[in-house]
Amino acid sequence: MPKPKCSYGGEPAAPKLASIYWAWYTVSGQRVSWKTFSCVGCAPTSLGIIFRSLRNASESPDEKHCASCGQVLDTDIDPIYVTLYLPGQERTDPEVWLDSACAAIIRSQIQSVGQRLPDRNVESRGPLTLATDPWEAIGFSLVDREN
């Protein structure tokens, strides 16, 4: 099996790549998820939106801000749920808060470089956080290998 490459720059496999799983709900309520890999050099591109969202949340915990344009979010909230594996670090599950216009742009960027993951049951739509079972993530990578 070829080693994964950075999804953003396409460099030959760097020794340590971050794995990023992105999930969101379509307007029809379907959960879709995508996976990207990132080398450390591409982290500003791949992880910038995530870190902006985390920073917004810590700086203004009482308000939600769009991680892309910065506006305060009221009713137009269209988040992306991330599961992040940075090399040598614990898994984290940050949420990226966006308005729907910015979400559409960010999602198309993810789709242009990422790998679509198999759909899960629509019934599993529930609390606004992803399942936190690491075996599930391992399952994803095994499925990918069959392709």
- In the complex, the residues that contact Zn ion under the rule CB under 5 A are 6, 8-9, 39, 42, 66, 68-69, 99, 102
Shortest Cβ 12–Zn ion spacing (Å) = 10
Q: Are the beta carbons of 41 and 74 closer than 8 angstroms?
A: no
Q: Which residue's structure tokens are 């993810």?
A: 110
Nearer to Zn ion among residue 18 and residue 137 (C-beta) = 18
Nearer to Zn ion among residue 76 and residue 119 (C-beta) = 76
How far is residue 70 CA from its own chain's centroid?
A: 19
Nearer to Zn ion among residue 95 and residue 99 (C-beta) = 99
DSSP 63: S
Shortest Cβ 10–Zn ion spacing (Å) = 7
Q: Are the beta carbons of 71 and 99 closer than 8 angstroms?
A: yes
CA-based Rg of the chain, rounded to a whole angstrom?
15
Q: What counts of helices (H) and strands (E) characterise the chain?
A: 3, 5
Shortest Cβ 6–Zn ion spacing (Å) = 3
Nearer to Zn ion among residue 57 and residue 131 (C-beta) = 57
Rounded-to-integer distance, Cα 93 and Cα 129, Å = 8
Amino acid at 34: W
